[in-house]
Amino acid sequence: MRQWRFEVFNRSGFSDVHGNSILEEIKEFGISSVEAVQSAKVFLIEADFDDDFAQRVGKELLSDPVCEEYYIGRSGPPAGLAKATLIEVHLKSGVTDPVAESVMAALTDMGMEAGNVRTARKYVLLGDIIQRQTDTIAKKILSNDVIETVIVGSEAEPPSPHLKPYELQIVHWPIRDLDDDGLVALSKEKDLFLNLVEMQTIQKYYRELGREPTDVELESLAQTWSEHCVHKTLKSSVDMSIDGKEIHFDNLLKDTIFKATKQLNKSWCISVFVDNAGVVEFDKDTAVCFKVETHNRPSALDPYGGAATGIGGVIRDPMGTGMGARPIANTDIFCFGPPDKKLEDIPKGVLHPRRIMKGVVAGVRDYGNRMGIPTVNGAIYFDERYLGNPLVYCGNIGIMDKNKCFKNPQSGNIIIVVGGKTGRDGIHGATFSSGEITHEYEAIFSHAVQIGNPITEKKMLDVLIQANEAGLYEAITDCGAGGLSSSVGEMGQNLGAEVDLEKVPLKYGGLNYNEIWISEAQERMVIAVKPENVQAIQKIFDSENVESTVIGKFTGDKKLILRYNARQVAEMDMDFLHDGVPKYSRKAVWNTPELTEPSITEKDNYNEELLQILSSYNVASKEWVIRQYDHEVQGSSVVKPLTGVKNDGPSDATVIRPRFDSDKGLAISCGMNPMYGDIDPYWMALAGIDEAIRNLICVGGRADRIALLDNFSWANCTKPETFGALVRASQACHDGSIAFDSPFVSGKDSLNNEFSCEDGTQISIPSTLLISAISIVDDVNKCVTMDTKRSPNLLFVVGETKNELGGSHYYKINGQLGANVPKVDIEKAPKIAKKICAAIEQGLIVSCHDCSEGGLAVSLAEMAFAGGLGIEADLRGLPKSKDCTRVDAQLFSESNSRYIVEVEPENYDAFAKLMLNAPFGQIGKVTAENTLTVKAEDGKKVIEQDLDSLKQAWQKPLAW
């Protein structure tokens, strides 16, 4: 076949948006020699069409008749411009190319079959550019070495990938005769990430069997036993020393978080900690499920692809929960290094935080938006220690019929893989995510990055919903970490399974049986189907061009049999695979650090501090991010992430109305504050729980229907001190869950988030616990937002302000950490939440905002500028503890369990009656002025600032 090359350029007179944004990034990098950037799309099409047809392809399909023009062949540099540098960026072979797939399909629509299509991007840089700058631009801005190849100048493009077909060769990895050193060496050499005890356990199993394992058997064990899949650290038995006092846990998770859920034993919890997502009742017919995952390592290497597959992967969790849920909302929470970090201060092997952030946001945006799932809730947190290990938490909520919350795979069921094809992408993802990153990881583990195609997933979702409604399958699960190995392995755990690996549809030839089995190629689900339903279900898939393939069946002998072209390549006992992993006992230590409170001189005025905190990256508006997400698709939004008179104030939580035929809603929120963990992870965790719950309460969520999720991202937990911090946080999760009567329903951990720099220094992330929360809203028409509504409504603070500036933003801007971390009064906090909930239910509150990062002053400012109405506040009315006498503490203390509420004067009595026995006080009123004023107890104005400057301070830092 002939290879056709098409280049598509912007017609002159029409702006080259892509080229312009590249130019902007080049300037941000400090390179001023580039005067202009022209971008072009390149299509390489192998097909047997003639010149006339090629012209049609260029004109009708590949270019826009109005604003673009096409060129067949390779265009040279623009005439008359000597100083032009040509750079082309091609995808590495095997990397998914969704555009190419669409072009193939479109050519078929035009009546022509192409043999192969590839796409690339071409850039023409104009200006006097030196070689070193070209390299920087190519590597740091235009391409990602992990997935792309750069060609500078007019060299030929990379050859089309025609891989040799695979010829079966069964590989054994002998283990029986190895000594301990040999076992460790084997684990390391094959990237199994299995430790010595695990290798010894496997050795014993094969000695008993009297044979050597095959490669795929050891790989299956490595995947199934990986930290990512079994969470052996959190399930280990722990000997913990807290300030010298010994405590023992037989199983950390079971003795803390699970224990609370079990004790609470809520009838509305349908399925917790067992399936891909936690399932709770929504209304009498339906249930919702929620899962949050991390995708930290892949996002560190390829921010765009890593984050995209992070959201793509977590969407498949609800899709694979019970008999499959329909995704209705995404959440995303990120932690990055400071975006203004100097380029020369970035360690080798690490991308700049700003580039990571832009890539991650774009990845979540492009995948979530294309899936048609609103991304409704999130947070972004910045800290130096996330430089080597950015954290990317992606969550998804699904809705399902209440009678379809459980799967029922049976022996004799046929195993069908649905959706995307299998390639080499993502091999070793599960094991990779369980180790530590070094500056060399970029090169070694690039294959662990997966590239997603959201449209493949969306098509699959569309047909799976139909197949589910028709009742044509018995069980479903997603292919996540560990690929088919995990999904078939888990579904067949109590049955046994036989799989013929050569049947699995491949993206390209040349994959061996082992790669097929462990590939983490995206957009695949596995279903179990009764033999009599196979034809009917495949008809549904075919009707919308979704690939589905029978690859095996579930047996009844509890063995896992893998074959390739009828030859057996693996035979393992399901029991050993799933229950053989040795139990661990670990040591954990927590010694309360000796910290002191700083002495900061009191001032007469705190305008400057307030503006500075509003401008700090953690507090500042995230509108730049939020607007890039479609948060309104599906038509369900009730409380949007941005609210207020100009639609730009920060909502505490979001509310969606997932059913067209009901006013029942779902409130979604999160809570996280790693800075408190530097003082005590116990109070950090409780603060996270209190914050997530406060946020739900503020918008009108029910206090008695809250379900929580935990996501631990920690550093190396083989260090007793690091693990001790995790144990402290787990204990807090238990205590908070019981106190708030709110069970945890799902969770996940990502450990070993450490980065080894070239010079040997380690960067460990701060202990980071994300709490996600959902609750029911009985009637969305009663929801409340945080913006001031009308003058002269009254403002109250409910909840006590204490002398708790430890870990606060006020201390942070003063370069201090402090000691008095905000605690949670677990007796009072739930009572306050219930009272606010009741007041909203009774329609007594017109706006409600919690106090969190930055304390009272920041919350008041946010309420005022969101509503476009001023506030006059007086600290005499503030309910506070006896030791909270300083003005700065009253303004900026981040004490938990506090709400600022706006009440109409005529509702004062009813509201006050309801708040009886709670710490509450009137601190001021809403005004028609454009100013926030706060008077101290002595009557002096300590804050007086116009709303425009406050808002600008808050909006500017991240308005990229």
User: Which of the 8 DSSP states describes residue 333?
Assistant: E
**Judged by CB under 8 A, does residue 67 bind another protein?**
yes
Q: How far is the CB of 123 from another protein (least distance, A)?
A: 15
Q: How far is the CB of 658 from another protein (least distance, A)?
A: 11
Span from 106-114, 136-144, 408-416, 600-608 in contact with another protein (CB under 8 A) = 106-114
Nearest to 876 by CA among 920, 937, 935: 937
Rounded CA-CA distance 101/656 in Å is 35
Cβ atoms of 323 and 473 closer than 8 Å: yes
Which lies closer to another protein via its Cβ, residue 135 or residue 632? Answer: 632
Task: Name the catalytic one among 228, 352, 578, 734.
Answer: 228
**Burial classification of residue 275, based on how many CB atoms lie within 10 Å of its CB (0-12 exposed, 13-18 middle, 19 or more buried):** buried
- Which three-class secondary structure state does DSSP give residue 227? helix
- Which three-class secondary structure state does DSSP give residue 538? helix
Rounded CA-CA distance 451/98 in Å is 10
Q: β-pairing, 870-874 with 931-935?
A: parallel
**Judged by CB under 8 A, does residue 785 bind another protein?**
yes
**Judged by CB under 8 A, does residue 784 bind another protein?**
yes
Q: How far is the CB of 656 from another protein (least distance, A)?
A: 10
Span from 395-403, 537-545, 565-573, 766-774 in contact with another protein (CB under 8 A) = 537-545
Which lies closer to another protein via its Cβ, residue 881 or residue 952? Answer: 952
**Judged by CB under 8 A, does residue 80 bind another protein?**
no
Is-catalytic flag, 228? yes
Q: How far is the CB of 707 from another protein (least distance, A)?
A: 23
Which lies closer to another protein via its Cβ, residue 18 or residue 702? Answer: 18
Site for another protein in 443-462 (CB under 8 A): 453-455, 458-459, 462
Site for another protein in 559-578 (CB under 8 A): none
Task: Name the catalytic one among 90, 295, 428, 734.
Answer: 295
**Judged by CB under 8 A, does residue 64 bind another protein?**
yes
Rounded CA-CA distance 518/499 in Å is 13
Q: How far is the CB of 900 from another protein (least distance, A)?
A: 16
Q: How far is the CB of 370 from another protein (least distance, A)?
A: 4
Interacting residue with another protein among 544, 557, 758, 909 (CB under 8 A):
544
Rounded CA-CA distance 150/173 in Å is 37
Span from 101-109, 142-150, 309-317, 608-616 in contact with another protein (CB under 8 A) = 101-109
Q: How far is the CB of 745 from another protein (least distance, A)?
A: 26
**Judged by CB under 8 A, does residue 15 bind another protein?**
yes
Rounded CA-CA distance 501/521 in Å is 15
Which lies closer to another protein via its Cβ, residue 629 or residue 811? Answer: 629
Nearest to 665 by CA among 379, 902, 371, 328: 328
**Judged by CB under 8 A, does residue 399 bind another protein?**
no
**Judged by CB under 8 A, does residue 385 bind another protein?**
no
Site for another protein in 697-756 (CB under 8 A): none
Site for another protein in 603-662 (CB under 8 A): 626-640, 642-645, 647, 657, 660
Rounded CA-CA distance 598/601 in Å is 10
**Burial classification of residue 787, based on how many CB atoms lie within 10 Å of its CB (0-12 exposed, 13-18 middle, 19 or more buried):** buried
Q: How far is the CB of 322 from another protein (least distance, A)?
A: 21
**Judged by CB under 8 A, does residue 20 bind another protein?**
yes
Site for another protein in 876-935 (CB under 8 A): none
Span from 18-26, 133-141, 240-248, 288-296 in contact with another protein (CB under 8 A) = 18-26
Is the alpha carbon torsion for 485, 489, 491, 492 positive or negative?
Answer: positive
Q: How far is the CB of 289 from another protein (least distance, A)?
A: 19
Rounded CA-CA distance 498/509 in Å is 23
Span from 163-171, 604-612, 775-783, 897-905 in contact with another protein (CB under 8 A) = 775-783
* Radius of gyration from C-alpha coordinates of the chain: 29
Is-catalytic flag, 295? yes
Site for another protein in 356-375 (CB under 8 A): 365-366, 369-372
**Judged by CB under 8 A, does residue 783 bind another protein?**
yes
Q: How far is the CB of 628 from another protein (least distance, A)?
A: 5
- 3-class SS string, 764-825: ECCCEEEEEEEEEECCHHHCCECCCCCCCCEEEEECCECCCCCCCHHHHHCCCCCCCCCCCC
Which lies closer to another protein via its Cβ, residue 18 or residue 876? Answer: 18
DSSP 856-920: HHHHHHHHHHHHT-EEEEEGGG--B-TT--SHHHHHH---SS-EEEEE-GGGHHHHHHHHTTS-E
Which lies closer to another protein via its Cβ, residue 492 or residue 649? Answer: 649
Interacting residue with another protein among 56, 235, 402, 789 (CB under 8 A):
789
**Judged by CB under 8 A, does residue 543 bind another protein?**
yes
Nearest to 771 by CA among 914, 674, 887, 913: 674
Q: How far is the CB of 251 from another protein (least distance, A)?
A: 42
Nearest to 588 by CA among 488, 459, 716: 716
Rounded CA-CA distance 86/76 in Å is 9
Which lies closer to another protein via its Cβ, residue 388 or residue 867? Answer: 867
Cα–Cα–Cα angle for 211, 499, 294, nearest 5°?
95
Interacting residue with another protein among 1, 35, 81, 105 (CB under 8 A):
105
Rounded CA-CA distance 216/443 in Å is 24
**Judged by CB under 8 A, does residue 469 bind another protein?**
no
- Which three-class secondary structure state does DSSP give residue 338? coil
Nearest to 564 by CA among 609, 489, 632, 504: 504
Which lies closer to another protein via its Cβ, residue 371 or residue 569? Answer: 371
Which lies closer to another protein via its Cβ, residue 131 or residue 660? Answer: 660
CA-to-CA separations, 201 to 72, 438, 551, 580, 920, in angstroms, rounded: 61, 28, 30, 8, 60
Nearest to 671 by CA among 387, 379, 443: 379
- Which three-class secondary structure state does DSSP give residue 202? helix
**Judged by CB under 8 A, does residue 209 bind another protein?**
no
Nearest to 892 by CA among 835, 942, 958: 942
Number of residues that bind another protein (CB under 8 A): 71
Which lies closer to another protein via its Cβ, residue 269 or residue 777? Answer: 777
Site string for another protein, 847-866 (x = CB under 8 A): x-------------------
Nearest to 424 by CA among 520, 499, 302: 520
**Judged by CB under 8 A, does residue 52 bind another protein?**
no
Active site residues: 228, 295
